[in-house]
Amino acid sequence: KLRKLLFRSVHRQLGGSLQLLICGGAYLDPELARCWELLGIPVLQGYGTTEAAPIVTVNPLKGRRLDSVGKVLPGQDINIIPDGEVLIRGANVTPGYWQDPEATEAAFEKGWYRTGDLGYLDNEGYLYLRGRKKDMIALASGMNVYAQDVEKALKACSGVKDACVLGVPTKRSDVQVHAVLLLQETEISPEEIVEQANKHLVEHQRVQVSTVWPFPEFPLTLYCQRRRWCDGRVRRVIRICIR
């Protein structure tokens, strides 16, 4: 209540009746959530999929965590398999895809839906996501690099508007951690940005090669989420940039 009083002019500009924000559908930067919290507006982050109609987890109002997508809702179960993928099941989860047995077989196993998301549960049952399984970079050393962790370090650097990290195969049958940078107007070079970010990453996570994205924005999906690099048009642009 004190924060609402301190920032009452901001609350008036937001309509005066905003009590709560619930977020889902894409990664929410904890720092952005913290900004809303400082204004006196609680932020509850949740997680779900269309196949689960759609909510799976949500943070409780008391005990909410800004870096977690919350706890599983009643009537559902979550299982984290050894490679880190999040599996879900429950009465709300669809048994399969309409007239698509191949897709159903690929995504469902013994009642569990394979979300394709990577994450982990803590001792209190809070779920933390680490990105998409298809975006994980598997190195020849056996180590895995979670693109979202590296992107977070890059976006914390001055002059970086956004970043996307992917694995690029080398001639030595290995994979390099490659950063595609969307820059603001800055005098800081891409090499300096990578050097700064790498100081906050462990050795196997560190960016080895970087490319500056040549357009004003990254491509977006219909849901205004950043389009990942499996899109054919995006791959072609990256290949041109890498050359």
Please give the share of the chain, as a percent, with pLDDT higher than 90. 70
Residue 228: its pLDDT value, please?
Answer: 60
Residue 171: its pLDDT value, please?
Answer: 80
Q: Name the pLDDT band for 225 (thresholds 50, 70, 90).
A: low
Q: Average pLDDT in the 23-51 region?
A: 93
Asked if residue 105 has pLDDT above 60, the reply is yes
Question: What pLDDT, in 10s, does the model give residues 164-213?
Answer: 898 888 888 789 999 999 999 888 999 999 999 999 999 999 999 998 99
DSSP collapsed to 3 states, the chain: CHHHHHCHHHHHHCCCCCCCEEECCCCCCHHHHHHHHHCCCCEEEEEECHHHCCEEEECCCCCCCCCCCEEECCCEEEEECCCCEEEEEECCCCCCCCCCHHHHHHHEECCEEEEEEEEEECCCCEEEEEEEHHHCEECCCCCEECHHHHHHHHHCCCCEEEEEEEEEECCCCCEEEEEEEEECCCCCCHHHHHHHHHCCCCHHHCCCEEEECCCCCCCECCCCCECCCCCHHHHHHHHHHHC
Domains of the chain: 2-133 (2.30.38.10), 136-242 (3.30.300.30)
Question: What pLDDT, in 10s, does the model give residues 84-99?
Answer: 999 999 999 999 999 9
